[in-house]
Structure 1
Amino acid sequence: MNDEYEPMSARIPADIEQPDKIMYGLTGRQVAILGATAAVTVAVFMAAAPVVPVPIVIGVCFPLVAAGCSMALGRRDGMGLDRFALAALDHLRRRRTLVSAPEGVPGPPAWCQVRGRLPGPLRFPVRAIRQDGVMDLDAGATAALVRAGTISLGLRTAAEQTALVGSFGRWLNSLESPVQIVVQARPVDLTELTDRVAEAARDLPHPALRQAAEGHAAYLDELGASRNLLMREVLIVLRDQPIPATPGTGRRGRAREASASIVARRAIDTVRALTSFGITAHVLDADECVRVLSEALSPSQARPVPSSDFERPITSDHPTEGRQS
């Protein structure tokens, strides 16, 4: 804000992690690829020009130049073609079939001839989950999950939208470690909820209540059959990577404990920061982390919608009035 209270803004690039341009708008990686392509092309031309006609040499060098320029300047899915090619080679090198084998996949006996490749061991990144929800990862890292709600900016005034965006930006600027925000949309199965409502309707004392409950159960049944229902979930993953300790010094366990305390504190600070501008959030405990990880392995499977206990009355506390309604 300036002296006249007019909003001031500064444009920043959408990709703040893009590499620096060092020459003619090219990054260091692109300059290295083009330089290597030029060196190889010149070497091939100088070696073949004395013994092969020049048009044939140019025809041989043209694919080298085209491949080098494509690798340096081309992009696929937001990734340079050189990195995309390396990722494709790494994918082809890896084994397709993975099995749960913490001790490793034993080789076949000498008398057995196996066609194809043996399955590889499935390396799950989470080694253990503590009771407070902190997950122990490979290489001594730790992580915690925070489930957050959402708010509707469209229903807020311009001043409220500016305040919310500013608060969210201040939280992002306060981060001192990598944070991942995951927005998931999962299919919802209303069959269990519909059956519970229909079963509870038979025990209601008044016919009007019974009729209303049966109508609601029929509505839920029709809704689940005619619509593709989705449930949105927002998760914030907080990680901490401690400095690797020297093996045999006894510091590895202490470093992991310190990392777990740090990531737990960051999760609590995240909940406080999100709650301050109207977003409900809480840290996931061990059982909730197990459920989230299990659903991540089967994202297309429909999950029953969570429902409240029918035996408990719905109450609303009013501390100022000292009564319940």
Structure 2
Amino acid sequence: MSWLPPIRIPADVDQEDKIVSGLTARQLAILGIATAVLSLTHMAIGDRIPPAAFAAIAAPIAIGAVVLALARRDGITLDRYLLAALRHHRSPKLLISGDTPAPLRLPVHTVTADGLIDMGPDGVAAVAEVSTVSFALSTPDEQDALVAVFGRWLNSLSGPAQILVRATPMDMTHTISALHDSAPHLPHPALSAAAHEHADFLADLGQRHDLLRRQVLLIIREPAADNAPDAAAARTLRRLEEAARLLSACGLAVRPLDHHAASALLTSCYDPAAPARPTGEFAGPGEVITKGERQ
């Protein structure tokens, strides 16, 4: 077999193909239709009205076609966004509940002292926070090494695993307070002034923007064993340790979540924008959660 050079696959595999001049087929179709409409209009009435009047009529159509073809909102092309808005506007807005309210039964039964999530008949899961590395800033040899190590870990999987990337709100209050508290103790007045200025910059940044942090989680799950929950928990911890050992060759640090961190993570998944709540306000196992009180 002859040797073939490696082929690089782009990270965004869902990106549409560029046909001409960096434009996709959809964009070319929108611009082509607008050009055809303007051309036919000019052939029909171009000799009856002054050029300035025709330009005044054609300019909004041309600008609208360019904006429709090239603009994006929330990562979606504007034509698809407007089409979705039209479908939403024309769809019925009636919500009819045919079932009586009932307590929500979550799959998680409890979180053990070592951070394992007991899901009853669905098994046991362990969650770990994983650091990141910059793939784009690595050399080609380093990129090949990272892919090889990651591939070895994938090939070693003996059970279900999930990689979850979350965007969570970032609270800079502690960092800002620490800068203001440590500024007077710095060895030079210029450093103290710089610390105060940086704290003010972070405070202003938090007021003007919604700050987010990226969190990468690795979830390892083991199916429930017949009358042997301890065996499933032991296998889950062993698989997590193996993942930490293999991924450390990539420069990735795998930090298993303890009881408090795992409980806080599950709580934040239901309302990511809500601030952290004291542990004493959590409902206990078997409690029915109602609005404003517990039963």
Instruction: Write the mapping of 1:12-91 to structure 2, written as runs, cut at 5 A.
Output: none
Partner of 1:268: 241
Matches within 5 A, 1:1-325: 7=5, 117-139=99-121, 141-202=123-184, 207-243=189-225, 245=226, 252=227, 255-301=228-274
Matching residue of 1:103: none
| C-alpha separation in 1, matches of 2:145 and 2:261 | 32
Cα separation, partners in 2 of 1:216 and 1:151, compared to 1, 3 Å: same
Q: Deviations over 1:6-60 (max 9, x none)?
A: 5568x9xx9xxxxxxxxxxxxxxxxxxxxxxxxxxxxxxxxxxxxxxxxxxxxxx
Alpha-carbon distance between aligned partners in 2 of 1:300 and 1:293, rounded to the nearest angstrom: 13
Distance 2:234 2:250 in 1: 25
Residue of structure 2 equivalent to 1:59: none
Post-superposition shift, 1:162? 1.4
Query: Which whole-Å deviations, capped at 9, do the CAs of 1:85-129 have from their partners, x for residues lacking one?
Result: xxxxxxx99x7xxxxxxxxxxxxxxxxxxxx85321121222122
Residue 302 of structure 1: how far off its partner (Å): 5.8
TM-score by length of 2: 0.58
Counterpart of 1:69 in structure 2 is none
Residue 230 (structure 1) shift: 1.2
Can you list the C-alpha shifts for 1:197-240, whole angstroms capped at 9, x where unaligned? Answer: 22443565753343222112111112212333210000011101
Is the 8 Å Cα contact of residues 142 and 260 (structure 1) preserved in structure 2?
yes
Residues in 1 aligned to 2:133 and 2:245: alpha-carbon distance in whole angstroms: 16
Moved more, 214-223 or 190-199: 190-199
Q: What is the number of equivalent residue pairs in this alignment? A: 192
Provide TM-score, normalisation by structure 1: 0.53
The CA distance in 2 between the partners of 1:162 and 1:196, in whole Å, is: 41
| 1:155 alignment partner, SS class | coil
Unpaired segments of 5 or more residues in structure 2? 14-94, 277-295
Deviation at 1:138, TM superposition (A): 2.4
Given the superposition, is the C-alpha separation of residues 283 and 7 from structure 1 closer, same or farther in structure 2, using an over 3 Å criterion? Answer: farther
Give the 3-state SS of the residue equivalent to 1:180 in structure 2: strand
Aligned partners of 1:143 and 1:239: how far apart in 2?
4
Cα offset for 1:157?
A: 1.5
Mapped partners of 1:282, 1:7: distance in 2: 37
Q: CA deviation at 1:159?
A: 1.8
Residues 243-280 of structure 1, C-alpha deviations (whole Å, 9 max, x = no match): 4x3xxxxxx2xx10000000010011111111112112
Given residue 229 of structure 2, which amino acid in structure 1 is its aligned partner? R
Cα drift, residue 299 of structure 1: 1.4
Q: Within 2, Cα distance between the matches of 1:124 and 1:265?
A: 26
Which whole-Å CA distance do the structure 1 matches of 2:167 and 2:156 have between them?
28
In 2: Cα distance, 1:180 partner to 1:174 partner: 14
Cα distance in 2 for partners of 1:168, 1:210 equals 44
Question: Does structure 2 retain, via aligned residues, the 8 Å contact 1:188–1:302?
Answer: no
Whole-angstrom CA distance in 2 between matches of 1:131 and 1:156? 39
Letter in 1 for 2:152: R
More helix by share: 2
The secondary structure found in structure 1 opposite 2:136 is: helix
Query: 1:302 & 1:134 partners in 2: Cα distance?
Result: 24
Report the structure number with the largest CA radius of gyration. Answer: 1
Q: Any unmatched runs of 5+ in structure 1?
A: 15-91, 96-115, 246-251, 304-325
Aligned residue identity for 1:225: Q
Does structure 1 retain, via aligned residues, the 8 Å contact 2:120–2:224? Answer: no
Structure 2 CA distance for aligned equivalents of residues 140 and 222 of structure 1 = 46
Partners of 1:201 and 1:157 in 2: how far apart? 39
CA RMSD of aligned residues (A): 2.9
Q: Post-superposition, which runs of at least 4 consecutive aligned residues in structure 1 deviate over 3 A? A: 6-9, 199-209
Letter in 1 for 2:139: T
Q: What is the alpha-carbon distance in structure 1 between the residues aligned to residue 222 and residue 211 of structure 2?
A: 36
- Identify if the C-alpha distance between structure 1 residues 7 and 211 changes in structure 2 by more than 3 Å, giving closer, same or farther: same
